[in-house]
A and B are shown apart, each in its own frame.
Chain A
Amino acid sequence: MRQGAWKWVARVAVVLVILYATLFGTVALAMMQPPARFGRIMRHMPGMLVWMLLPAPTMWQWARQGDLKEGDAAPDFTLHTQDRSSQVTLSSYRGDRPVVLVFGSYT
C-alpha cells in the first residue's frame, strides 16, 4: 500500500515536470518569434501561470538580447517625424552629439 502511494506520487511528479517543461518550452519558443507572432501566441496563454511559474524576465532578456552590442556601430536609419513633416537621419549627428533613442509604443 505504502509502495503504491509512492508510485502515485512519482507519477504525479513526472506529469508535473512534463507540463512545466512544455510550458517553459512553448513560452521560450514564442519569445523568439517576431513581436506580432509572439503577441498572437501569448494571447492564448494563461498569463498569470506564465509569470508566476516561469523565470519570465530572465527568459525574455535572453530571447530579446538581439545582435547589437555596446561598442558596435549603430545601424543608420532615416525616419519620418511623427507628424510626417520632416525626416531625421541618425548619422547626421555623427561628430556632433550623442543621440538617445527611446523605443516604444502606446499600448
Chain B
Amino acid sequence: MPDLNALYKKYRDRAAFYVVYIQEAHPVDAWQIPSNVKDNVLEASTTTAEERSHVAGKCVKNLGIEIPALIDAPDDRVERAYTGWPDRLYVIDAEGRVAFKSAPGPFGFEPADVGAALEKMMGPATPAPEGEGGV
C-alpha cells in the first residue's frame, strides 16, 4: 500500500486513480488464510452495496489507502469485465483503451509497472514536492 500511495502522489496531477473494491479474496466464509487471522482481518463475503461500502471503508482506513475507492456492483460486473479478482492493476489511456494490464494478483501486483506504463504514455513525472499531504 505505501507503494500505491507513492504512485498516486507522483502521478495524480496527470492521471485519475481509483481503487475498485471487489468481492473479498479470503473471506471467513470461504477461503480463510492464516495471515489474515494473524492480522485480525476477518470479513465475510460482501455482496450487497451496503456491505461492500462498509468493508471497503474499513479497508481504506486500516490500510491507509489515499486513492479514492469505488465499490463494484453486487453482480460483480466490473470485476468480471476486467478479470480483477483477487487484485489487478490497469492503466486506461485518455482514448479509453487498455494501455497496461498487470498479471493477476497476488503474483502480478507490481505498482512500479503502472509507473512505467504512465511514463511511457506521458513522459517522466516532474518530481513531487516534498511534504505534500493528502487531498
- Chain B interface mostly: mixed
Interface residues of B in 43-67 (CB under 8 A from A): 43, 45, 49, 53, 55-60, 62-63, 67
Please indicate the chain A residues that have their CB under 8 angstroms from the CB of B72 in the complex: 79
| A100-B89, A105-B22 as given contacts; A61 in contact with B16, CB under 8 Å | no
Chain B residues with Cβ under 8 A from A76's Cβ? 96
- Asked if B58 and A104 make an inter-chain contact with CB atoms under 8 angstroms apart, the answer reads no
Could you tell me which residues of chain B, from 29 to 48, have a CB within 8 Å of some CB in chain A? 30-33, 36, 41-43, 45
A98 and B68 within 8 A (CB): no
Which bracket fits the contact residues of B? 35 or more
B91 touching A80 by the CB < 8 A rule?
no
Query: Which residues of chain B are near A90, meaning CB under 8 Å?
Result: 92, 96
Residues in A whose Cβ lies below 8 Å from that of B21? 82, 104-105
Closest chain A residue to B14 by CB distance? Answer: A97
Interface size (A, Cβ < 8 Å)?
49
Bound together, the chains give a CA A36 to CA B121 distance in angstroms of 36
User: Whole-angstrom distance from the CB of A63 to the nearest CB of chain B?
Assistant: 8
Once the chains bind, are B26 and A39 in contact (CB under 8 Å)? yes
Total A-B Cβ pairs within 8 A: 212
B41 touches A106 (CB 8 A): yes
B8 CB to nearest chain A CB (Å): 8
Q: Are B87 and A68 in contact (CB under 8 A)?
A: no
What 0/1 readout, one digit per residue, does chain A (71-100) give for beta carbons within 8 Å of chain B? Answer: 111111101111110001011011111111
**How far is it, in angstroms, between the C-alpha of A75 and the C-alpha of B8 when the chains are bound?**
23
B92 proximity list for chain A (CB < 8 A) = 74, 90, 93, 98-101
A residues touching B (Cβ–Cβ < 8 Å)? 35-36, 38-40, 42-43, 47, 57, 60-61, 64-77, 79-84, 88, 90-91, 93-107
Binding site for A on B (CB under 8 A): 4, 7-8, 11, 14-27, 30-33, 36, 41-43, 45, 49, 53, 55-60, 62-63, 67-73, 76-79, 81-101, 103-105, 107-108, 114, 118, 121-122
